[in-house]
Structure 1
Amino acid sequence: MALITEIADKFFVACETGMGWEGCKAYCTPEATFAAQAEPLADVKSLQQYCDWMKGLLGFMPDGHYEVVSFATDEKRRNVSAYAVFHATHTGHGGPVPPTGKKVATDYVYVMQFDGDKIKHMQKIWHAGLAMKALGWA
């Protein structure tokens, strides 16, 4: 397994299990950026913000977990892509609306761009609108 693949895997697990920036920063450049064409993440521009957003999300969706479908490394372009399905139920307080008790299974992809052995940028590809509807938020 390539070095960037191992680093991406460790970052992915830390991020997806709600470790926040404290649990993720060792795998990233200090100024790592983030982008997504998804309404809930429109104002999230740094990877630090995103990692902390995921930590918060798991606070009101405590059963949240992921299922990895594919994990691929492109050495030439220095990136790693992770395709997964996020499963969760909105049961906790603190979300955008009171708990709905509804479940979601939503596909997403992370494309983690590397500078040396650190993630410098991550793009999330996700259809947030369908996830929001499934949870009763839209």
Structure 2
Amino acid sequence: MGERESGTLKLRLGLPATKRDVLLAKLVSRLSLVVVTLLPLFVVLGVLMSSVYGGIPLVAFGLTAGWLLFYTSVWTTFVVGVSAAFTSPFRVLAAICGTYLFFSPVTRIWDMVVMCLFSLVFAGSLTIHH
């Protein structure tokens, strides 16, 4: 059961903290959970790779780990924001899944929209020429 259904959110917002404070606290807690979960995994992965391959390319490994932390942090921030915007958990799920499918390289919807717009602006028609 969520905070809205159980009444915890109403109690929390009745305290001196503002809605922004509650949202920021929730975001910080979720982001810290992501970092605390992923960092030990990177350490274990680094140790395993070092033992199997005799070493790891530190710059590439560090950039990959940093990119993964950034990517998960962006999605976590997005999910917390969408969760705060909608009252129904089903709407939250639909918004998150819809956004992922829209930007997903698998469905390529975003690519089609951008290519059609660029074709319209620069060629004067919606026909895409490859």
Name the TM-score class by shorter chain: under 0.3
Q: Which has the higher strand share?
A: 1
Q: Which has the higher contact order (CA 8 A, sep 6+)?
A: 1
Determine which structure has more spread, i.e. the larger CA radius of gyration.
2
